[in-house]
Amino acid sequence: AAPAPGALLPEDEFAATCDGPVLLNVEVPEDVGASQSLISISLPVMSQVREAKEAVAQRLGGDLPLNKFQLRHPRAGFLKDALSLAHYNLGNNATVEVNMRTRGGRR
């Protein structure tokens, strides 16, 4: 049976459809202080989301702690660090956005 539209392929099946590393486009909010609002990173499809975050942090100068931001995909929502890009079916030219974590609220 064919998967339902919008359903994710199993991780290993999706990985088999990718040749080599995947190129991710990462939208960066202005408040991060980056010189670019869109950066690209290239990683093997079986890389963990944490590795993608490390690559993003390095591209942004290396002083952005990994626990201060999350990656978010329009379809998959917030990406968990321990899961792979293939788990989320993030292939070539997928776009994710950086979401800064904020703690607490106004008093």
Q: Kindly report the pTM of this predicted structure.
A: 0.86
Nearest residue to 32 via CA among 66, 56, 60, 70: 60
104 contact partners, CB below 8 Å, separation of at least 6: none
Write out pLDDT tens, residues 66-97.
999 999 999 999 999 999 999 999 999 999 99
Domain borders along the chain are 20-100
Q: What is the pLDDT of residue 38?
A: 93
Spans in the chain with pLDDT lower than 50: none
Domain 20-100, CATH? 3.10.20.90
